[in-house]
């Protein structure tokens, strides 16, 4: 919120979807953030929607967080709104958000940036087969962390939360990114692709006029990498109600706690270990991939037959 308000001159209304885990202290800080910049804020308690999530949907979201499914509730919760920008909570807005808002979706349901990682996967690889079985197009696959949602058009389809929940239930047997795969499959062919600067996933030293999405990098609030997102995040933090009253010593202590303490590990040791683990895992995946794909097809066939017999 602070990164949006600091970089945007226009009037903005922030809609926060939350459940009963939102503390009173954080609620007050959200309100104070909006008041500080004379901007709008609406808090929406979606606990009621959360309670209606089926077991299959909850299971699909377990490997991530149940919160990733909340964006599926936006069209129903904001029934009177015709257009909205959705942002993941691990996003830093280092630009005037008005530029994103002004993009013409040209009658499409969504506008988003292609996912730089998924769009590079090989055809008929394990992940590609997963996406195909879900009805997604891996070559035109979007990252759902930053979206322009044409709610007026989505509302024409009826209660979207029910549509998305049914999709997740029907594909719960396939390894998925719950919300992202759902949006890609449901709105396939009805998405406007926008400039990559609106959803930067890679680390760059100089990152002006863009939206930084800390999805595939170390979160600046968990670990100091020394790259641009660290500087931008902590600059915003100390200007927000969460950090504005911290003393210099408290800030130093907080930042020091995010530095890797081991004298035997160089500055980016954690990232290097992750890259080594990912590389090793990739080699194992390549070795067993044909068997995994066969198993995936068999599991999908069994699921569909079971579903068909159950409906009878």
Please tell me whether residue 110 adopts helix, strand or coil conformation.
Answer: strand
Burial track 264-285 (b if 16+ CB lie within 10 A, e otherwise): eeeebeebeeeeeeeeeeeeee
Query: Does residue 266 surpass a pLDDT of 50?
Result: no
Q: For 179, phi and psi rounded to 5 degrees? A: -70, -40
Q: What is the mean pLDDT of the segment spanning 135-163? A: 94
The most confident of 5-19, 221-235, 295-309, by mean pLDDT: 5-19
Report the mean per-residue pLDDT for the chain. 86
**How confident is the model at residue 262, as a pLDDT?**
44
Q: How far apart are CA 92 and CA 90, in angstroms?
A: 7
Question: What is the structure's pLDDT at 267?
Answer: 46
Residue pointed to by tokens 């968990």: 222
Tell me the pLDDT tens digit for each residue of 121-140.
888 888 888 898 899 998 99
Burial class (CB in 10 A: 0-12, 13-18, 19+), 301: exposed
Average pLDDT, integer, range 196-224: 86
Question: Using an 8 Å Cβ cutoff, are 168 and 58 in contact?
Answer: no
Q: Would you say residue 23 has pLDDT above 60?
A: yes
The reported pLDDT for the residue numbered 152 is: 96
**pLDDT tier at 264 (50, 70, 90 boundaries)?**
very low
169 confidence band (pLDDT: 50, 70, 90)? confident
Percent of the chain at pLDDT exceeding 90:
53
Give me the pLDDT at residue 217, please: 76
The first and second tokens of residue 63, run together, are 């490997």
Please report which confidence band the pLDDT of residue 275 belongs to, taking 50, 70 and 90 as the band edges: low
Segment 168-196 shows an average pLDDT of 90
The distance from CA 247 to its chain's CA centroid, rounded to whole angstroms, is: 32
pLDDT in tens, 39-98: 999 999 998 888 777 777 777 777 777 888 889 999 999 999 999 999 999 999 999 999
pLDDT surpassing 80 at residue 211: yes
Which among 140, 143, 121 has a CA at the least distance from the CA of 130? 121
pLDDT score, position 241:
97
Q: Is pLDDT at 274 greater than 70 in this prediction?
A: no
Read off the pLDDT of residues 220-251 as tens digits, 9 standing for 90 and up. Answer: 999 888 888 999 999 999 999 999 999 999 99
Whether the per-residue pLDDT at 179 is higher than 60: the answer is: yes
CA distance linking residue 207 with residue 306, whole number of Å:
50
């Amino acid at each position: 919120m602070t990164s949006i308000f600091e970089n945007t001159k226009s009037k903005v209304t922030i809609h926060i979807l939350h459940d009963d885990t939102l503390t009173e202290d954080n609620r007050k800080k959200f309100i104070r953030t909006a008041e500080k910049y004379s901007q709008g804020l609406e808090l929406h308690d979606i606990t009621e929607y959360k309670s209606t999530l089926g077991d299959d949907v909850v299971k699909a979201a377990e490997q991530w967080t149940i919160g990733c499914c909340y964006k599926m509730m936006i069209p129903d919760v904001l029934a009177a709104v015709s257009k909205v920008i959705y942002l993941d909570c691990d996003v830093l807005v280092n630009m005037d958000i008005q530029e994103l808002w002004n993009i013409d979706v040209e009658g499409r349901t969504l506008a988003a940036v292609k996912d730089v990682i998924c769009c590079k996967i090989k055809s008929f690889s394990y992940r590609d087969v997963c996406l195909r079985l879900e009805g997604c197009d891996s070559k035109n696959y979007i990252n759902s962390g930053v979206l322009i949602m044409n709610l007026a058009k989505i509302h024409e389809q009826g209660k979207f939360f029910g549509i998305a929940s049914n999709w997740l239930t029907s594909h719960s047997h396939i390894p998925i990114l719950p919300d992202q795969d759902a949006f890609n499959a449901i709105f396939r062919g009805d998405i406007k692709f926008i400039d990559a600067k609106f959803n930067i996933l890679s680390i760059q030293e100089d990152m002006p006029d863009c939206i930084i999405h800390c999805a595939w990098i170390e979160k600046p609030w968990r670990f100091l990498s020394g790259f641009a997102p660290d500087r931008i995040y902590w600059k915003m933090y100390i200007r927000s109600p969460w950090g504005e009253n911290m003393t210099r010593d408290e800030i130093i202590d907080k930042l020091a706690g995010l530095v890797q303490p081991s004298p035997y590990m160089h500055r980016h040791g954690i990232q290097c270990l992750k890259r080594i683990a990912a590389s090793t895992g990739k080699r194992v995946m390549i070795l067993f991939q044909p068997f995994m794909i066969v198993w995936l097809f068999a599991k999908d066939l069994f699921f569909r037959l079971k579903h068909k017999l159950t409906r009878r």
